[in-house]
Structure 1
Amino acid sequence: MLFACGHKAVDIAKVLGITKPTFYKHYFNEITRAGHAPLMMRARQLERLNNAAEAGSVPAEKALAGMIQAEQVRTMGEKIKERGKSDAPPAQRLGKKEAAKEAAASASGKFAARTPPPMLLN
């Protein structure tokens, strides 16, 4: 329950009145699942509401519908937040000298390399 509220393992060990090594030794399963604790708690809560709604409780049905809608909005928000991000690194910018060389190679018009006279070509 305390992991679901966001407390750290050290603080929970102090609340239980045991040392940190003892807590890690005896509660290692709970510690490894601590990151999923809020989601597991929400799942239990949804399960209880669903059982009450199936038993005919109208307030439970309304609360269940509200929680489901809130979860859908939250997950959609996460998808939208990640939509504009790209995993590919941005293209390397050229330095002054590289840009000047590239511009000189692709010069056209008055500053382009001249074509040789027709007599020199076979």
Structure 2
Amino acid sequence: MKKIEAYIRPEKLEEIKTVLDKYNLNGMSIIQIMGCGNQKGWKEYVRGTEVDYNFLQKIKIELVVLDEQVEKIIQSIIEVSSTGEYGDGKIFLYNVEDAIRVRTKERGESAIK
């Protein structure tokens, strides 16, 4: 099992949810965050003083998926998220040692299906 963390533009969320729906995923977490990378934020003037806002709104998507689904899901996220501009996001991949469904006490792959 793998955990996928994808940081994306907020305006791409609905499109990504639609694309990921075809994989019959059993769960997904979505978190509104603020962050910066190469895009560096923006500048505004407040009462005549320049203010540098380093953080931009982003969406963090977390998924735990079966190993055989990983590449297809990553490619789908990239296809939908990519605009070719700074700020398109990043994807991180982690190994998941185990998963446990609290209600039924199922472990492993059956806990995420």
Q: Same fold (TM over 0.5)?
A: no
Larger relative contact order (CA 8 Å, sep ≥ 6) = 2
Query: For the pair shown, which has the larger CA radius of gyration, 1 or 2?
Result: 1
Q: Hey, which of these two has a bigger chunk of helix by percent? A: 1
TM-score using structure 2 length? 0.22
